[in-house]
Amino acid sequence: IRKASLSDLPVILEIYEIARQFMRDHGNPYQWSGYGYPSRELLEDDIRQEQLYVLESADGLEGVFMFNEGPDTTYLKIDGEWLNAEPYSVIHRIASRGRKKGVLRLAVDFVTSMSSNIKIDTHEQNTVMQNALLRLGFEKCGIIYLENGDPRIAYQLKK
């Protein structure tokens, strides 16, 4: 796992397209329904802020995710309750090329090496991600709302 660079963008954009198709194929056509989310501009900003990471194997880039230390404005209000009010880190926009298993686990392991309190969210129709998060020890805490008002299921992991 390493920080992404601008030269990684073509492959990163390809990974996100693969992830969007995977979600559509698995009953989740709405989470990144804009067919351009995340945008190139957003990803470039993540890279400039050194918050976008890639998972690389001998075969090339396998996954991508955004990681930063909170607070995250979308997590300030929750219909439910967070596990604690301690400082936390967030994972957003995680995606896999689909060639290797365990991309989410590797990303979570990486983040937990730097933070013992992690928050993440996903769409209600993203059952693949929901099940994976529960398997990794995340607890469902409630519903948060994105800036545009869309609801997301919020999870937290306390190590």
Which pLDDT score is estimated for 34? 61
DSSP, collapsed to helix, strand or coil, labels residue 99 as coil
ω into residue 10 within 30 of 0, thus cis? no
Distance from the Cα of residue 103 to its chain's centroid: 11
Q: In Å, what is the CA distance from 116 to each residue of 58, 105, 124, 128?
A: 29, 15, 25, 24
* Token pair of 141 as six digits: 């805490």
Give the pLDDT of the chain (159 residues) as one tens digit per residue.
999 999 999 999 999 999 888 888 888 777 776 657 899 999 999 999 999 999 999 999 999 999 999 899 999 999 999 999 999 999 999 999 988 889 999 999 999 999 999 999 999 989 989 999 999 999 999 999 998 888 999 999 998
- 110: which residues sit within 8 A by CB, 6+ positions away? 1, 53, 67
Q: What is the pTM of this model?
A: 0.92
